[in-house]
Amino acid sequence: MTRIGIIRHGSTEWNKEGRAQGSSDIPLNESGLLEAQQLATRLSNEQWDVIYTSPLSRAKTTAETIASEMNVVNIVLDDRLREVNGGLIEGTTEEERVAKWGANWRELDLGMEPKEQVFARILSLIQDVTEKHAGQNVLLVGHGSFIRHLFEVLLPTYKAETRLKNTSVSNIVLSNDTWQCELYNCTVHVDSK
């Protein structure tokens, strides 16, 4: 049985301001660094064999914090884990988008990465991870929109209705060629502080 733990990176200033980050490389803020450390402490009591991370600094720093606490030396940078490219909306708030492009801005071609392209890189990543690490526990450290797309493509009947929190943990398990969700959007390591 292959288990994949899916981690959303810690908080950034753009998260705090409600700005679309996409592929912009925004670092963790002080809160994000603390959240990453709290997550690392939580995960130190669990067995994870390898960590894959987006190369964007907010995810990479989160992954490195986890790895240092768990003494995991194998961190794999994988560009397929990067956040969905937001095109022209990156760096803007919802209010700014409505003011600039109107209330129906989501229907416009603003250069955002197509869903099919995101699905293709998710499937490529998951295939590689499950082949290389069959029967192991693998952490993926990525981004909110990417993770929502991952759930949509791997577990299409799973209704993930809540917004993903920073440093949330979600676990999926591959058993008999079927993905099942064991845990979704858990932040007990932050909420209990």
Rounded Cα distance between 23 and 61, Å, is 16
Q: Is 83 among the catalytic positions?
A: yes
Rounded Cα distance between 21 and 24, Å, is 6
Which residue is catalytic, options 64, 83, 90, 113? 83
Instruction: Please give the distance of CA 44 from its chain centroid, rounded to a whole number.
Output: 19
Name the residue among 83, 6, 7, 82 with its Cα closest to residue 38. 7
Q: Is 9 among the catalytic positions?
A: yes
Residue 173 structure tokens: 């398990």
Give me the phi and psi of 57, to 5 degrees please.
-60, -35
Residue 169 structure tokens: 């943990």
Which residue is catalytic, options 9, 143, 149, 189? 9
Instruction: Please give the distance of CA 132 from its chain centroid, rounded to a whole number.
Output: 20
| Active site residues per annotation | 9, 83
